[in-house]
Chains A and B, each alone.
Chain A
Amino acid sequence: MAINLEVPKKHRQLIDQAHQVAMNMLRPISRKYDIAEHEYPKELDMLAAMIDGLAESGASEGAGAAGVRRDSSEDDGKVRNGSNLASVTSVAEMCWGDVGLLLSMPRQGLGNSAIASVANDEQLERFAGKWASMAITEPSFGSDSAAISTTAVLDGDEYVINGEKIFVTSGERSDCIVVWATLDKSLGRAAIKSFVVEKDTPGVKVERLEEKLGIRASDTAVITFTDARVPKENLLGSPEINVEQGFAGAMATFDNTRPLVAAMAVGCARAALDLTRDLLKEAGVEVDYDKPANLQSAAAARFLQLEADWEAGRLLTLQAAWMADNRKPNSLEASMAKAKAGRVGSDVTLSCVELCASVGYSETELLEKWARDSKILDIFEGTQQIQQLIIARRLLGLSSAELK
């Protein structure tokens, strides 16, 4: 044991691969699918096949959505650099390529993360190879997940699901949807469960696709469920309504997915920093890391600040993933990473546009696109404000009734 915050040697190859894919496969089609919103990026099928191949060969060690499961292998007291760390570093690398395309990666949806995190072995096997999207948000609520009004009623061996879900990422392209619904609204948060619903289930209908500020390569669907019947074995986790445990079970998924979203922000922001560094250099501005910032040009000083904040988001993300790998409770750190990386993502990408002036603002470069893409990362999987609430409640030991 010794403090070391460098990316582990054993993940280097994986990260390099992801970088090559991002550079050679995602970047060339980045603008194309930003303009052609809702068009399916067919190039990704081949990429997904490659990723599956890598996963089977064991070479990837959990790149993508499969990587958030906490395996139960024995604890040998050694410090582990496992699949969580591998996931955040490779996801960041892919998002250096393109966030929208990463989100559109077949079989790497947020629903897959949920399944990988909480499904039992039988379910894992049954849903293997499926592309799963995640449906939580409804028209009447966003951050307040406990306000879910979509219902699931047990009828014989099946649950009958009714309701409307919005903001379903890859909602049209996925094979199935992990739907959050309540078994009994009067029992509050504890009654909220998630169900895997196959897309071809009668009563499931993609109503429309959203037109968005950014991540336009990723489809965002409105889906309605009208008496959609799913086998009761499709419920993820325990069917018991444990009022004591409350929402904890369902929310646990977020401890695993928040560092991934933080990693997306880290990757997207680095794309902007890398390009801006180049463009500033062409303009005659280079950062001197030893000379005091106030003695350099304002642009160099600004860049230094952006880089420092970016590094803060990155290291907080690595910390959260490292804790998950080493089975330390990390929901506080996961939220810290998401909060910092989320806001840094916006600040860095927007500032890079500003530093590069009309070159940054123009569609000729990708800087303006990254400034649009990054915004969602401070919103989904818990907004900046929700992360702060989580952090504050935990630090101050306050309940959600005390700190509203």
Chain B
Amino acid sequence: MSLTSNLRPGGKHGVPTSARRDPIGILVAGLSKLAQSDLIDRVGLRKQTEQAVFTVTRSGFKTITQASRTFAKAGKKGKPGVRAAAAPSTGVFDLTPTEDEQMLVDVVGEFATEVVRPAAAEADAACAAPDALLKASLEIGLPILGLPEELGGVSEERSAMAGTLVAEALAKGDMGLAVASLAPGSVATAIGLWGTDAQQQTYLPAFTGDEVPAAALALNEPTVLFDVTSPATTATKAGDGYVLNGRKSQVARGSDAELFVVGASLDGKPVLFLVESSTEGLTIEGDPAMGVRAAGMTTLELKDVKVPADAVLGETDGSTYLECVRLSRLAWCALAVGTGQAVLDYVTPYVKEREAFGEPIANRQSVAFMVANIAIELQAMRLLTYRAAARAAAGKDFSKQVALARKLCADRGMQIGNDGVQLLGGHGYVKEHPVERWYRDLRAVGIMEGTVLV
């Protein structure tokens, strides 16, 4: 590499490739190098920082060290699995949840208030959900929420609506912890929806038991302008099975996961594959992001990962994959609604208590109208999300409805996060208040594919 190209600043540290350094810039760059060297640390000029934990830093790919369990093969290969029935449709326009749904929302809502919210700030900083919280989430039945009774679950019918309400209620506590605790159930729900008898018998007992495995739905990829409908991760036929190659990003609790559902292109169609974490060729790297940090996000690398023929989850024509994408987007909409509600509930008393120029700032239209708009857009986000969820539960086509919900939740949800910080001014910018976390979390909604589903 020539000296001149070495001096070019572009292409790293977020600097565009067209950037050029002038003489002062070159001097500053040199100073920066010196400041980064550990020479000054050795002479004790800088306070030592704590050793960062695996998940907080990008410390290179590691093989998964979690003691992976062996999922004992069971059930009949090729036999269709048990399917939840579509929710009956009364044909009546109604915004009232069923009694069961309401009960569930009450329980989860209490959990979100009492357990999730108090743990949120620390989990965000640690990039990990506390074990006790995850255990408690098992007790309230989150992993089996989306499973029909015959498979050891709790739902009598397709549970997209209940799942949506639960995700909303949890995210009102904290989005990152909601994702961490919903991720295993999302994989279980996926196996319930699309798994063969063999896949259901092999994997679901783990989720309905006491030691529920961490599991992750890996659809995202680290690509600019990522198009979830055509993943760059590939699956190629090899012998009786397939070989997977590629990288999946924003994989929740990837370092603990024992089972992945991975999206990959097979003969030009996107397909879901079940991949056990003990499979050779899987490595994982911590990949903390702007927000949703409590979910312990990681990047999963698949290098010549061999999976058997029956690792395919659902259809190979792209239809299962697309339904999975839609249900996942629905879950992210629900999370946005929950976090948006947290913002509204927080700023409402704040602007009434905070005084400026001798009266509460709420008395000013520019402040009050921001709160009004948060409420309007939030309720709209909720209604669009519920419509898509109810259609999904009833077995109707919901592709358009979920697209509209996602668009609104991405745009307006981010606006709510932005306004939430703005309403608190400088106080919104510091971690003493949770609004800066919600700001970071709400950015995820238009970006995330996979990770959770309802």
Contact = CB atoms under 8 A, between A and B. Distances in A.
Contact of B325 (A9, A290, A294, A339): A290
Contacts of A266: none
Contact of B377 (A292, A312, A396, A397): A312
B363 A403 contact: yes
A304 B90 contact: no
B89 interface: yes
Contacts of B161: 2-3
B368 A398 contact: yes
B192 to A, nearest CB: 20
A1 B98 contact: yes
B383 A315 contact: yes
Interface in A356-404: 385, 388-389, 391-393, 395-398, 402-404
Interface string A309-347: 101110110110010000000000100100110000000
The secondary-structure label for the interface of chain A is helix
Contact of A2 (B94, B227, B362): B94
Nearest to A292: B227
A3 B94 contact: yes
Contacts, number: 172
Nearest to A390: B372
B118 to A, nearest CB: 26
B380 A289 contact: no
Contacts of B411: 305, 308
B383 A289 contact: no
Contact of A7 (B93, B376, B380, B403): B93
A101 B365 CA distance: 36
A312 B408 contact: yes
A4 B390 contact: yes
Contacts of A318: 93
Contact of B94 (A1, A289, A385, A402): A1
Contacts of B387: 5-6, 311, 315
Contacts of B372: 339, 388-389, 391-392, 395
B211 interface: no
Nearest to B227: A295
A137 to B, nearest CB: 22
B319 to A, nearest CB: 11
Contacts of B95: 3, 5, 319, 322
Interface string A274-316: 0000000000000001111111000000001101110111011
A53 interface: no
Interface string B225-238: 11111000000000
Contacts of B402: 289
B365 to A, nearest CB: 7
Contacts of B390: 2-6
Interface in B339-384: 348, 351-352, 360, 362-363, 365, 368-369, 371-373, 375-377, 379-381, 383-384
A251 B161 CA distance: 37
Interface size class of B (residues with CB under 8 A): 35 or more
Contact of A396 (B91, B94, B99, B351): B351
Nearest to B100: A2
Contacts of A85: 93
Interface string B402-424: 11110110011000000000000
Interface size on A, as a range, is 35 or more
B362 A3 contact: no
A4 B89 contact: yes
A79 B96 CA distance: 9
A100 B233 CA distance: 55
A1 B363 CA distance: 40
B243 interface: no
A226 to B, nearest CB: 39
A9 B101 CA distance: 24
Contacts of A291: 227, 229
Contact of A305 (B93, B101, B400, B407): B407
A4 B90 contact: yes
A270 to B, nearest CB: 13
A126 interface: no
B92 interface: yes
B399 to A, nearest CB: 5
Contact of A290 (B229, B384, B394): B229
A305 B404 CA distance: 8
Interface in B4-40: none
Contacts of B362: 392, 396, 398, 402-403
Contacts of A6: 89, 91, 93, 387, 390-391
B386 A5 contact: yes
A307 B404 contact: yes
A28 interface: no
B352 A396 contact: yes
Contacts of A311: 384, 387, 404, 408
A79 B371 CA distance: 31
Given A2-B161, A3-B161, A293 B407 contact: yes
B119 interface: no
A155 B228 CA distance: 76
A123 interface: no
A8 interface: yes
Given A316-B383, A336-B375, A2 B97 contact: yes
B300 interface: no
A398 B411 CA distance: 29
**Best-buried of A85, A309, A339, A397 by chain B (most CB within 10 Å):** A309
B326 interface: yes
Contacts of B99: 1
A1 B88 CA distance: 11
A385 B274 CA distance: 53
A10 interface: yes
B87 interface: yes
Nearest to A1: B96
B389 interface: yes
Given A388-B372, A392-B371, A294 B225 contact: yes
Nearest to B447: A292
A290 B399 contact: yes
Contacts of B97: 1-3
Given A316-B376, A391-B375, A392-B368, A2 B90 contact: yes
Contacts of B412: 312
B322 interface: yes
A333 B408 CA distance: 19
A81 interface: yes
Contacts of B379: 316, 319, 333, 336
A395 B407 contact: no
B380 A8 contact: no
A25 B197 CA distance: 57
Top 10 nearest A-B pairs (CB, nearest first) are A312-B380, A392-B368, A289-B403, A9-B91, A5-B387, A315-B383, A308-B407, A391-B372, A392-B372, A308-B404
Given A315-B380, A397-B352, 6 more contacts: A5-B390, A81-B92, A290-B399, A322-B93, A388-B368, A398-B368
Interface of B: 87-99, 101, 161, 225-229, 322, 325-326, 348, 351-352, 360, 362-363, 365, 368-369, 371-373, 375-377, 379-381, 383-384, 386-387, 389-391, 394, 399-400, 402-405, 407-408, 411-412
18 contacts: A3-B96, A3-B101, A5-B387, A81-B93, A289-B399, A289-B404, A290-B322, A305-B411, A307-B407, A308-B404, A311-B384, A311-B404, A312-B380, A312-B412, A315-B380, A318-B93, A395-B372, A398-B352
